[in-house]
Structure 1
Amino acid sequence: MTSSSSAFSTICILHSLIAITSGTLMMFQMKEIYTFTHGNETATKLMGSTPHDQLLIRTSDSFSGLLLFDIGFLIFMVSFVKDREFQSFFAKGCAVLHVFMVLWRVNFERRVEVLAWVCLRQTVGDILLALSWVLFLVCSWREKYD
């Protein structure tokens, strides 16, 4: 029980750090992130063409970052739960959520021309994050039935 419990805590803390870092960057450094990941030309397109559009996009990015930061904080709190059934339930939910994100990216985001290459990288990231939960479920299943 201790190895799957520590694996759960480790995975939660890793996912929490990723979410908190990404959320913080989205709130405060979105223009720099757009420039770094997409280049100057695409970043300019993504930031909007009018001051009103730019304000709406910055506000949306900030709220999305705040939500991601909050999710990271909640995942950090969940990392301390020791109930094996809850851990399994939570891991299944997170894996399904990441699979839905992959489906969303493949079906919708890849159609946005300026995001096509970024979508591929993010899809790979979502698959890896989902695999971490699946590996936890496999390990806990093996412990349960061995």
Structure 2
Amino acid sequence: MKRGSLLSSPGENQIKSMASSAFLLICMLHSLIALTCGALMMFYSHEVYVFGHGPETAIKLQGSSPRDQLLIKTSDSFSGLLLFTVGFLLFMVSFVKDRDFQSFFAKGCVLLHLAMAIWRVYFERKLEDLAKDWPRQVVGDVTLALSWVFFLMYSWREKYD
């Protein structure tokens, strides 16, 4: 059927429903990850450092003077709040049914995750304390980007079948 048609076939509605379900699932998964990480960063930043980087690096990342510690804790809290907000926005966006918006949003998320991976490759690997962790984090960023790429491939396949 034509896109502007008022009548659509049952198969076309099922395809739209399946693509919307995939978008909802991916958004919810990414939202859950962002909300959890953001809350942990705000309230348990030291424990997250120990879990992610090890106890030696976590101590180095705390700062040496009280002023440094306060700045780092404040920075972690704001970063966590930003990540929590992104998770909340992802939750809200997951209910959008517009196929064009979903495609646009997925492309933006792919670019965002790839930009983060590039940032880690070019800048974080140069930081002595974080140098051993950047490959694992790049793999995580690329994996999150791939989830959106798979959604785009799935929705394009459904669109042109």
TM-score where L is the length of structure 2 = 0.89
**TM-superposition CA deviations, 1:64-118 (whole Å, max 9, x none):** 0000000000000000000000000000000010110111000000111111122
Which has the higher Rg, Structure 1 or Structure 2? Answer: 2
In the alignment of these two chains, the number of paired residues is: 146
The separation in 2 between residues aligned to 1:44 and 1:140, in whole angstroms, is 46
**TM-superposition CA deviations, 1:125-146 (whole Å, max 9, x none):** 0000000000000000001100
* Residue 122 of structure 2: aligned partner: 107
* Residue 99 of structure 2: aligned partner: 84
Moved >6 Å (runs of 4+): none
The separation in 2 between residues aligned to 1:29 and 1:85, in whole angstroms, is 39
* Residue 120 of structure 1: aligned partner: 135
Give the alignment of 1:65-84 within 5 angstroms: 65-84=80-99
Cα distance, 1:35 vs. partner? 1.6
The separation in 1 between residues aligned to 2:55 and 2:150, in whole angstroms, is 39
The separation in 1 between residues aligned to 2:138 and 2:55, in whole angstroms, is 23
Between Structure 1 and Structure 2, which shows a larger proportion of helix residues? 1
The separation in 2 between residues aligned to 1:40 and 1:93, in whole angstroms, is 35
Query: Structure 2 regions of 5+ residues with no counterpart?
Result: 1-15
* Residue 36 of structure 1: aligned partner: 51
Aligned amino acid, residue 77 of structure 2? S
The separation in 2 between residues aligned to 1:109 and 1:40, in whole angstroms, is 19
Query: Structure 1 regions of 5+ residues with no counterpart?
Result: none
Is residue 2:62 matched to residue 1:13?
no
* Residue 57 of structure 1: aligned partner: 72
The separation in 2 between residues aligned to 1:78 and 1:111, in whole angstroms, is 35
Cα distance, 1:44 vs. partner? 1.1
Q: CA RMSD in A?
A: 0.7
Q: Which has the higher contact order (CA 8 A, sep 6+)?
A: 1
Give the SS at the match of 1:117.
Answer: coil
Give the SS at the match of 2:132.
Answer: helix
Aligned amino acid, residue 27 of structure 1? M
Cα distance, 1:38 vs. partner? 2.1
